[in-house]
Structure 1
Amino acid sequence: MRLILYSKPGCHLCEGLQEKLEKIQNLSFELEIRDITTREDWFSAYQYEVPVLYLSNRKNANEEVNIIEQPLPRPSPRASVQQLEQMLSKYLSNNQKNNAE
Protein backbone atom coordinates (compact mmCIF):
# COMPACT_ATOMS: atom_id res chain seq x y z
CA MET A 1 0.00 0.00 0.00
CA ARG A 2 1.29 3.43 -0.90
CA LEU A 3 0.27 6.91 0.18
CA ILE A 4 1.13 9.79 -2.12
CA LEU A 5 1.48 13.26 -0.64
CA TYR A 6 1.41 16.12 -3.14
CA SER A 7 3.39 18.90 -1.53
CA LYS A 8 5.49 21.96 -2.30
CA PRO A 9 8.52 23.56 -0.65
CA GLY A 10 7.72 26.03 2.09
CA CYS A 11 4.21 24.65 2.69
CA HIS A 12 3.86 24.36 6.47
CA LEU A 13 0.64 22.32 6.21
CA CYS A 14 2.45 19.88 3.89
CA GLU A 15 5.42 19.57 6.23
CA GLY A 16 3.15 19.04 9.24
CA LEU A 17 1.17 16.31 7.51
CA GLN A 18 4.34 14.60 6.31
CA GLU A 19 5.79 14.60 9.85
CA LYS A 20 2.61 13.05 11.24
CA LEU A 21 2.46 10.41 8.50
CA GLU A 22 6.07 9.44 9.23
CA LYS A 23 5.22 8.95 12.93
CA ILE A 24 2.44 6.41 12.26
CA GLN A 25 3.63 3.01 13.41
CA ASN A 26 0.57 0.75 13.45
CA LEU A 27 -0.17 0.88 9.73
CA SER A 28 1.96 -0.50 6.95
CA PHE A 29 2.32 1.83 3.98
CA GLU A 30 4.95 3.39 1.78
CA LEU A 31 4.95 7.20 1.72
CA GLU A 32 5.80 8.92 -1.56
CA ILE A 33 6.25 12.70 -1.53
CA ARG A 34 5.56 14.43 -4.84
CA ASP A 35 6.81 18.00 -5.17
CA ILE A 36 4.22 19.74 -7.36
CA THR A 37 6.79 22.31 -8.50
CA THR A 38 8.63 19.59 -10.45
CA ARG A 39 5.81 18.92 -12.93
CA GLU A 40 3.54 21.39 -14.65
CA ASP A 41 0.49 19.08 -14.59
CA TRP A 42 0.82 18.52 -10.83
CA PHE A 43 1.33 22.23 -10.23
CA SER A 44 -1.75 23.29 -12.19
CA ALA A 45 -3.85 20.60 -10.54
CA TYR A 46 -2.76 21.16 -6.93
CA GLN A 47 -1.22 24.63 -6.60
CA TYR A 48 -4.12 25.88 -4.45
CA GLU A 49 -4.92 22.54 -2.83
CA VAL A 50 -1.75 21.20 -1.18
CA PRO A 51 -1.35 19.12 0.85
CA VAL A 52 -3.23 16.49 -1.13
CA LEU A 53 -3.16 12.86 -0.08
CA TYR A 54 -3.84 9.89 -2.36
CA LEU A 55 -4.04 6.18 -1.73
CA SER A 56 -2.29 4.29 -4.52
CA ASN A 57 -3.03 0.67 -5.13
CA ARG A 58 -2.09 -1.92 -7.68
CA LYS A 59 -4.86 -4.06 -9.10
CA ASN A 60 -4.12 -7.14 -11.13
CA ALA A 61 -6.68 -7.90 -13.79
CA ASN A 62 -5.99 -10.68 -16.27
CA GLU A 63 -2.22 -10.42 -15.81
CA GLU A 64 -2.38 -6.67 -16.40
CA VAL A 65 -1.35 -4.36 -13.57
CA ASN A 66 -3.44 -1.23 -13.08
CA ILE A 67 -2.43 1.44 -10.60
CA ILE A 68 -5.40 3.20 -9.09
CA GLU A 69 -5.00 6.44 -7.17
CA GLN A 70 -7.86 7.37 -4.87
CA PRO A 71 -7.98 10.84 -3.27
CA LEU A 72 -8.35 10.87 0.49
CA PRO A 73 -10.09 13.61 2.48
CA ARG A 74 -7.76 16.27 3.77
CA PRO A 75 -7.12 15.73 7.47
CA SER A 76 -7.36 18.71 9.78
CA PRO A 77 -3.98 20.33 10.48
CA ARG A 78 -4.94 20.01 14.16
CA ALA A 79 -5.44 16.24 13.92
CA SER A 80 -3.11 14.26 16.13
CA VAL A 81 -0.98 11.41 14.81
CA GLN A 82 -3.47 9.01 16.44
CA GLN A 83 -6.47 10.67 14.74
CA LEU A 84 -4.68 10.61 11.40
CA GLU A 85 -3.86 6.93 11.91
CA GLN A 86 -7.53 6.15 12.67
CA MET A 87 -8.68 7.96 9.52
CA LEU A 88 -6.13 6.17 7.35
CA SER A 89 -6.93 2.83 8.96
CA LYS A 90 -10.53 3.19 7.82
CA TYR A 91 -9.53 3.92 4.22
CA LEU A 92 -6.83 1.26 4.07
CA SER A 93 -9.20 -1.42 5.36
CA ASN A 94 -11.95 -0.36 2.92
CA ASN A 95 -9.42 -0.48 0.11
CA GLN A 96 -8.24 -3.95 1.10
CA LYS A 97 -11.85 -5.19 1.14
CA ASN A 98 -12.41 -3.79 -2.34
CA ASN A 99 -9.26 -5.49 -3.62
CA ALA A 100 -10.32 -8.85 -2.23
CA GLU A 101 -13.48 -8.77 -4.33
Structure 2
Amino acid sequence: MQLILYSKPGCHLCEGLLEKLQQVKAIAFELEVRDITTRPEWFEAYQYEVPVLCQNLSGVEKPLPRPSPRASVQQLEQLLQKYLSPES
Protein backbone atom coordinates (compact mmCIF):
# COMPACT_ATOMS: atom_id res chain seq x y z
CA MET A 1 0.00 0.00 0.00
CA GLN A 2 1.28 3.45 -0.86
CA LEU A 3 0.51 6.70 0.94
CA ILE A 4 1.41 10.17 -0.27
CA LEU A 5 1.95 13.06 2.12
CA TYR A 6 1.73 16.52 0.57
CA SER A 7 3.68 18.96 2.72
CA LYS A 8 5.85 22.04 2.57
CA PRO A 9 9.08 23.07 4.28
CA GLY A 10 8.69 24.71 7.66
CA CYS A 11 5.15 23.40 8.23
CA HIS A 12 5.03 22.16 11.81
CA LEU A 13 1.75 20.28 11.16
CA CYS A 14 3.40 18.46 8.24
CA GLU A 15 6.47 17.62 10.29
CA GLY A 16 4.33 16.33 13.16
CA LEU A 17 2.25 14.08 10.92
CA LEU A 18 5.35 12.75 9.16
CA GLU A 19 6.97 11.94 12.50
CA LYS A 20 3.88 10.02 13.62
CA LEU A 21 3.56 8.18 10.30
CA GLN A 22 7.16 7.03 10.67
CA GLN A 23 6.26 5.52 14.06
CA VAL A 24 3.25 3.53 12.78
CA LYS A 25 4.04 -0.16 13.06
CA ALA A 26 0.62 -1.88 12.91
CA ILE A 27 0.10 -1.13 9.21
CA ALA A 28 2.55 -1.77 6.40
CA PHE A 29 2.73 1.06 3.88
CA GLU A 30 5.17 2.87 1.67
CA LEU A 31 5.24 6.63 2.24
CA GLU A 32 6.07 9.19 -0.42
CA VAL A 33 6.50 12.76 0.82
CA ARG A 34 5.82 15.43 -1.80
CA ASP A 35 6.97 19.01 -1.27
CA ILE A 36 4.23 21.17 -2.77
CA THR A 37 6.69 23.99 -3.46
CA THR A 38 8.41 21.87 -6.12
CA ARG A 39 5.47 21.66 -8.55
CA PRO A 40 3.04 24.48 -9.39
CA GLU A 41 0.03 22.13 -9.67
CA TRP A 42 0.67 20.70 -6.18
CA PHE A 43 1.12 24.18 -4.74
CA GLU A 44 -2.10 25.41 -6.37
CA ALA A 45 -4.05 22.40 -5.09
CA TYR A 46 -2.70 22.20 -1.54
CA GLN A 47 -1.20 25.56 -0.52
CA TYR A 48 -3.91 26.14 2.11
CA GLU A 49 -4.52 22.48 2.97
CA VAL A 50 -1.21 20.87 3.99
CA PRO A 51 -0.64 18.37 5.36
CA VAL A 52 -2.70 16.24 2.99
CA LEU A 53 -2.47 12.47 3.20
CA CYS A 54 -3.63 10.40 0.23
CA GLN A 55 -3.80 6.73 -0.58
CA ASN A 56 -2.42 5.86 -4.00
CA LEU A 57 -4.77 3.32 -5.62
CA SER A 58 -3.12 2.26 -8.88
CA GLY A 59 -2.27 5.84 -9.78
CA VAL A 60 -5.52 7.33 -8.47
CA GLU A 61 -5.11 9.40 -5.32
CA LYS A 62 -7.78 9.14 -2.64
CA PRO A 63 -7.47 11.83 0.05
CA LEU A 64 -7.85 10.58 3.61
CA PRO A 65 -9.45 12.59 6.42
CA ARG A 66 -6.95 14.81 8.16
CA PRO A 67 -5.98 13.51 11.58
CA SER A 68 -5.94 15.93 14.48
CA PRO A 69 -2.48 17.36 15.21
CA ARG A 70 -3.07 16.13 18.77
CA ALA A 71 -3.75 12.54 17.68
CA SER A 72 -1.40 9.97 19.14
CA VAL A 73 0.42 7.42 17.00
CA GLN A 74 -2.12 4.83 18.17
CA GLN A 75 -5.02 7.06 17.13
CA LEU A 76 -3.37 7.62 13.75
CA GLU A 77 -3.01 3.85 13.32
CA GLN A 78 -6.72 3.43 14.09
CA LEU A 79 -7.64 6.08 11.53
CA LEU A 80 -5.47 4.43 8.90
CA GLN A 81 -6.95 1.00 9.65
CA LYS A 82 -10.45 2.41 9.29
CA TYR A 83 -9.87 4.16 5.96
CA LEU A 84 -7.40 1.75 4.38
CA SER A 85 -9.37 -1.41 4.99
CA PRO A 86 -10.70 -3.12 1.81
CA GLU A 87 -14.30 -2.39 2.84
CA SER A 88 -13.86 1.39 2.95
TM over 0.5: yes
Unaligned segments of structure 1, at least 5 residues: 59-66
Match of 1:77 in 2: 69
Structure with greater strand percent? 1
The C-alpha deviation readout for 1:52-79, integer Å capped at 9, x for no partner, is 0101122xxxxxxxx2210101100000
Q: CA deviation at 1:97?
A: 3.8
Matched residue type, 1:34: R
Query: Take 2:87 and 2:83, find their aligned partners in 1: how far apart are those partners?
Result: 10
Match of 1:50 in 2: 50
Matching residue within 73, 80, 88 for 2:80: 88
Instruction: State how many pairs are aligned.
Output: 88
Unaligned segments of structure 2, at least 5 residues: none
- Verify: 1:4 aligned to 2:4, yes or no: yes
Query: Take 1:30 and 1:6, find their aligned partners in 2: how far apart are those partners?
Result: 14
Q: Give the TM-score normalised by the residue count of structure 1.
A: 0.84
Query: Take 1:41 and 1:69, find their aligned partners in 2: how far apart are those partners?
Result: 14
Q: Give the TM-score normalised by the residue count of structure 2.
A: 0.96
Query: Take 1:26 and 1:85, find their aligned partners in 2: how far apart are those partners?
Result: 7
